[in-house]
Chain A
C-alpha cells in the first residue's frame, strides 16, 4: 500500500468510559461514531464506508442511518480495528469509497445489549480446549508465558514491572480507570487469577467504545484536525486455539504483521517515537517488543524493568495506561489506536514531546490474530 496516502481525520471515544450501565452496546457504538463525526466536522451522510467487529456492519449502518458503498465486518478479536484501518486505507486508495467510519463498542462490564461469548462443543476449541477447564481469557492467554520465561530467562518481577510502569502512565490520564501508583510487591501480592498471573497483570473489564474516520490524504488537508497519516500496515492470523500456536516463544501473527508494517512505512526501529502494544495481559508487551524486532526476546523483560518504557524513557509504551490500567472493554485495539492518534495530534494527556511516528500493535483472541498500524503526523 502507498505510504501516507490515507489519513485519520476523525477520532473519538465514547463520552464516558468505565462502568456505563445506562447505555446499550449498540448505542455506545453510536455515541463513539457521533463523537468522531463531530471531531471530523462531518455529517453522517458524508460516510460512505463502514467497518465494525462483533456487531455487523449492517447493524451499525442501519442504526446510524448510513448507506455505504463499502463494508468490512472483519472480526478477529481485539485487533479487528487495526485490520479495518488497513482494509479501509486500501479501499480508499482503490476508489471504493471516500470516507470510512470504523466503530467499536462493548458493554464488557455491564453487559447491556451484549451477547455472551460461547464456544460450540463441536468446534475444535470446544472439543480440544474447553473440556480441560479453560474458562475465559484469564485461563487461556497466560498459558504460553511460563515457557516464554524459561526460554528467555524472564523473571516474575520483570513481568510485574509491566503493570507498574503502565500505572505510571495511567496516573497522568484523567480518563484512566486505575490511577493509584503500584509497586512490584503490590503486583506479586495481588490476588492470584491463573498462575503465574495475578489480578494486577490482567486487563480491566469495562464499558466503552471508540470510532475513527479515514479519508484520502489529499482530502485530509481540508479537515479541522491535524491529519494523522497511515504510514504502514500489517495483519495476520495464526490459530484460534492457544494450544496450537507454533511456539510459545513468539507469536507468528505478530511476526508477520509487525515487520510488514515497518517495511511498508520504510522506517527503522530507532525512528519510533511512541509505541502501543495491546496488553490484555502483562506478557504481551514483551512478545510485542521481541516479535516486532525492537530487541531480542531475551532483553524485553530487562528493558521494561530498567524503565525504558516509562514516562521519560526512550521508548514510551502504552502511554494511556493500557488495557491493564486505562480501560479494556473486551476488544481493546480501538483504544490503542485512539491513543496513537492523540499522540500524533499532540493532544494526549501524557503527550510524548515532538512524537512523529507511532507504532500501534494489536492482538486478537489468544495470539490468534494480529494487526499493526504505523502512524505519522509528517507527510
Chain B
C-alpha cells in the first residue's frame, strides 16, 4: 500500500499565480503599485493600503531561517519524523512556512538566521511546493 500523501494545496483564483510560479521554478510574491509594500500570502489588493493595483513578481528565492520546530509526534501524513517545520524570512520581507531540505533535521544544523535558498519539490503535475535549503557559499 502506498504511503499516505502529504496534504496538498488546492489553489484558488487569487492564489493560482503563486502555484503556477512554483510549477515553473519561480517563487512569486506581490508588490503594491501604490505603496510598494511586498506581501504574502497572495491576494488581489494591498493589505497595507487597500490599493487594488498590485503586481506579481519573481522573488529572489533567498531568505533566512526565522524560527522552526522539529516535529517528532504526531507526524503529518507523508512525513517521516523528526522533520523541521520552518519559517523562512524572505529577503523581500514576507515570511512563509516551509521545510529545510539537504540539511540534518537537528538543532545543531538548523541555526536561526542561517541563509537559505528556495528549492522546488514537485508533488504532481499541478502542484510544486517551495522548499528551502542552506544557501551555497
Interface residues of A (CB under 8 A from B): 119-122, 124, 126-136, 138-140, 142-147, 150, 191-197, 241, 243-244, 248
A139 touches B71 (CB 8 A): yes
Report the nearest B residue to A127, measured CB to CB.
B9
Closest residue on chain A to residue B7 by CB atoms: A130
Instruction: Report yes or no: B10 in contact with A144, Cβ–Cβ below 8 A.
Output: no
Contact-size category for B? 35 or more
Nearest chain A residue, comparing its CB with the CB of B105: A195
User: A194-B69, A194-B70 known; A133 and B83 CB under 8 Å?
Assistant: yes
Q: Determine whether the beta carbon of A126 is less than 8 Å from that of B6.
A: no
B8 part of interface (Cβ distance < 8 Å): yes
Contacts of B123 in A (CB 8 A): 131
Taking CB atoms, residues of chain B closer than 8 Å to A126 are 7, 9-10
Cβ-defined contact, A124 with B76, below 8 A? no
CB within 8 A of A128: which of B6, B70, B97?
B97
| Cross-chain contact B9 with A132 (CB below 8 angstroms) | no
Asked whether, in the complex, the Cβ of B68 is within 8 Å of the Cβ of A122, the reply is no
Of residues 84 through 111 on chain B, the ones whose CB sits less than 8 Å from some CB of chain A are 85-87, 95-99, 107
For A192, what are the chain B residues with a Cβ–Cβ distance below 8 Å? 72-73, 82
Binding site for A on B (CB under 8 A): 6-12, 15, 19, 40-41, 66-79, 82-83, 85-87, 95-99, 107, 112, 123, 129
What are the residues of chain A within 8 A of B74 when measuring CB–CB?
A: 135-136, 138-139
Main secondary structure of the interface of A (DSSP, over half): mixed
Please name all residues of chain A whose beta carbon is closer than 8 Å to the beta carbon of B10 when the two chains form the complex: 120-122, 126-127
Given contact pairs A127-B19, A132-B85, a sample of 11 additional A-B residue pairs in the complex whose CB atoms are under 8 Å apart: A122-B10, A127-B12, A127-B15, A128-B96, A130-B7, A131-B8, A133-B71, A144-B67, A195-B72, A243-B87, A244-B40
CA distance A307 to B18 in the complex (A): 49
CA distance A10 to B67 in the complex (A): 43
- A166 vs B76: C-alpha distance when bound (angstroms): 30
Contact A195 B8 (CB under 8 A): no
Whether B97 contacts A134 by the Cβ 8 Å rule is: yes
